Amino acid sequence: MKRLTAIVRPEKLEPLKDALFEAQITGMTITQVMGCGNQHGWSEYFRGTEVLLNMLPKVKFELVVEDEKVSDLIDLICDVAATGEVGDGKIFVSPVEEVIRIRTRERGLQAV
């Protein structure tokens, strides 16, 4: 099993969520986060003083899926979340050693 963590633009929340549901992915965690990367934020003037706002709002999707689905899901996320501009986001893939459903104590893929 793998955990995919995708950090995308806030306006991609609904289109990506809908695409994941359509791809039969029913379990996901979505969090509103702040961060920066190559985009580095922007500057604004507040009371005549320039203020650098380097933390931008993003949305983080976390999914735990079977190894065989990882490549297809990466393609799906890239297709839906890409605008072609700096700040489209990142996808991180990491191994998952174990999953346990608390209610039933099921383990592994049955718990996902």
What's the pLDDT score for residue 14? Answer: 97
Neighbour-count burial of 109, counting CB atoms closer than 10 A to its CB (0-12 exposed, 13-18 middle, 19+ buried) = exposed
Digitized pLDDT (tens) for each residue of the chain, 112 residues in all = 999 999 999 999 999 999 999 999 989 999 999 887 776 666 677 788 777 667 788 999 999 999 999 999 999 999 999 999 988 999 999 999 999 999 999 999 889 8
What's the pLDDT score for residue 112? Answer: 86
Answer yes or no: are the C-beta atoms of 107 and 60 closer than 8 Å. Answer: no
What's the pLDDT score for residue 49? Answer: 79
Q: Is 10 helix (H, G, I), strand (E, B) or coil?
A: helix
Instruction: Give me the count of residues in the chain.
Output: 112
How far apart are the C-alpha atoms of 12 and 59, rounded to whole Å? Answer: 8
Domain ranges of the chain: 2-111
The CATH architecture one would assign to domain 2-111 is 2-Layer Sandwich (3.30)
Over the Cα atoms of the chain, what is R_g? 17
What's the pLDDT score for residue 86? Answer: 86
What's the pLDDT score for residue 39? Answer: 62
What's the pLDDT score for residue 109? Answer: 87
How far apart are the C-alpha atoms of 103 and 100, rounded to whole Å? Answer: 9
Q: Where are the alpha helices (DSSP H) in 1-112?
A: 13-22, 70-81
